[in-house]
Amino acid sequence: MADNRALAQVASDRPSVMTQAAEQAEADCGFFGTVQTLISRAQAAGALRADFRLEDVPAIHVLSGAAGASGPSRSLRLR
């Protein structure tokens, strides 16, 4: 996401736009069910915390965008 600062800025400043996009993806192809399946599989494999929930995804998206928006050197240090 560090390569797309515009998307990171929208995610941070206008969460309603991101919500609308997610809701449209849900209507088009079952986005939330797909992401929940991915989360459940990762938890079953022990690769993701048991208390992680689908509702945590937007916060991670915004935070990862904010980290990348602070510049490439900061982004590289986080990897």
List, for residues 21-36, the tens digit of each pLDDT value: 889 999 999 999 999 9
Maximum average pLDDT range among 5-9, 32-36, 62-66:
32-36
Measured N-to-C along each axis, helices 15-29 and 57-69 cross at an angle, to the nearest 10 degrees, of 130
> pTM for this structure?
0.65
Q: CA dihedral in degrees (32, 33, 37, 40; nearest 10)?
A: 70
Quick check: 62 and 15 in contact, CB under 8 A? yes
61 to 1, 5, 36, 44, 45: CA distances (angstroms): 9, 12, 15, 22, 22
